[in-house]
Amino acid sequence: MTGAPCIFGKVPQGPRQHPDQPCRPRWQSHLPAEWRGKTVVPQSFRVYREYEVPARRVVGRDRLGEPCFCACDYRLIELRSEDDDDLYPALTYGESLDAWRLLDGRWLVHRRLQPYGDEGDLVAALSLEERMPR
């Protein structure tokens, strides 16, 4: 994992403390502005990677070690060809999620789906949930 690129943007933060924490994710990048002062700020992050498929998960923890941020994504990539000779990778399905623990204990969840990959529209939704998404 040494030298691995950041999973959620390139924001290196000094010396690495753990091999699964290659960088600090941009945890507020999809957080709507009206919710910014209502979330618990993560103090540490742990990155989990799936090595057989393009999937990953980041869990941010508060000062007490409790989860307060979660991000995950999954991509299904297929090889395609338009002329039966040149193959190229194409996204056929995508799913992403960001979730923030609010100060009242609920979770604000932002889900994004690309059910038809590059050929379909992105479907996005915000919801409030009682638990961190799994």
The tens digit of pLDDT for each residue in 50-74 reads 877 778 899 999 999 999 999 998 8
Domain ranges within the chain, ordered by starting residue: 52-129
For the cut 90, the answer to whether the pLDDT of residue 126 exceeds it is: yes
Averaged over 14-36, what is the pLDDT?
69
Q: Give yes or no for a contact between 60 and 7, defined as CB atoms under 8 angstroms apart.
A: no
Q: Give yes or no for a contact between 38 and 31, defined as CB atoms under 8 angstroms apart.
A: no
**Quick one: pLDDT band at residue 23, thresholds 50, 70, 90?**
low
pLDDT at 6 (0 to 100): 46
pLDDT at 21 (0 to 100): 44
For the cut 90, the answer to whether the pLDDT of residue 93 exceeds it is: no
> Residue type for 2, please?
T
Averaged over 114-129, what is the pLDDT?
86
* DSSP label at residue 40: P
Rounded distance between C-alpha atoms, residue 92 and residue 88, angstroms: 12
Averaged over 98-124, what is the pLDDT?
90
Rounded distance between C-alpha atoms, residue 123 and residue 38, angstroms: 25
Rounded distance between C-alpha atoms, residue 70 and residue 98, angstroms: 6
Q: Give yes or no for a contact between 110 and 98, defined as CB atoms under 8 angstroms apart.
A: yes
